[in-house]
Amino acid sequence: MSSINIALDGPAAAGKSTIAKQVASRLSMIYVDTGAMYRAITYKYLQNGKPENFNELINNTSLELTYDEQKGQRILLDEQDITDYLRENDVTNNVSYVASKEPVRSFAVKLQKKLAAKKGIVMDGRDIGTVVLPNAELKVYMIASVKERAERRQKENELRGIDSNLEQLKQEIEARDHYDMNRDISPLRKANDASTLDTTGKSIEEVTQEILDMVNQIK
Ligand code: C5P
């Protein structure tokens, strides 16, 4: 489906990236994880000792997306592959703050629009249907209960060998959503023309199929 773009938005840990990867691979489209871009800038912000001048931080930043057959999307920050650090707790707990800053958003959105210009992209994030790709051919707003989102995150952590507390995960997810939904610039919200997809209790295959069905309807 090289002639369309798909925008996938929703709160934290709703399964967006898992589903986006499946949909992209089934339709021979390219998956773009925009959260990873904000995480990469957050990584740099932390490495630089949390500077408050975001213009300066951004002006000296280069961000590049590459694709590895096995590992998928990789992020090069200032020419270094820092993808493996992007899921660390410190990054996760600071990313919403960094992503609320105007210089950070305009930098990332510009890059995202450029990546999607030729179509054939499945992009997930918080403002894809509202701001980045307002003309996307398909917009889906994915939600799931906080309990299930925290449980999924805990399982993911287990697979990575990281111990995590379910209550704490719930609190972190809720705090991040609250921040993302209430920031001044491009807050997380459903685009008027997006379809809501509640993934609670559904398998990856079921949700993927629901989106593929939606794609078939727009053809
Ligand atoms: O999707 P992920 O959990 O990796 O996103 C990390 C954070 O990046 C979000 O909590 C949000 O603050 C920010 N983000 C954003 N806009 C996007 C994607 C992510 O503000 N399009």
pLDDT along the chain (219 residues), means of 10: 91 93 95 96 98 96 91 93 93 95 98 96 97 97 96 89 91 94 95 97 96 91
Q: Is 129 annotated as a binding residue?
A: no
149 touches ligand 1 (CB under 6 Å): no
34 touches ligand 1 (CB under 6 Å): yes
- Dist. CA 30 → ligand 1 center (Å): 19
- Dist. CA 48 → ligand 1 center (Å): 20
Query: For position 190, what pLDDT does the model report?
Result: 97
Query: For position 219, what pLDDT does the model report?
Result: 61
Residue found by looking up tokens 């008027």 in the block: 192
Domains of the chain: 3-212 (3.40.50.300)
161-203 pLDDT, tens digit per residue, is 888 899 999 999 999 999 999 999 999 999 999 999 999 999 9
Residue found by looking up tokens 């906080």 in the block: 146
Q: For 9, what's the count of Cα atoms within 13 Å in the CB-facing half-sphere?
A: 28
Helices (H), 100-165: 102-116, 146-159
Query: For position 1, what pLDDT does the model report?
Result: 66
Rama region for 15: left / alpha / beta (φ>0; ψ in -120 to 50; rest): left
Q: Is 145 annotated as a binding residue?
A: no
180 touches ligand 1 (CB under 6 Å): yes
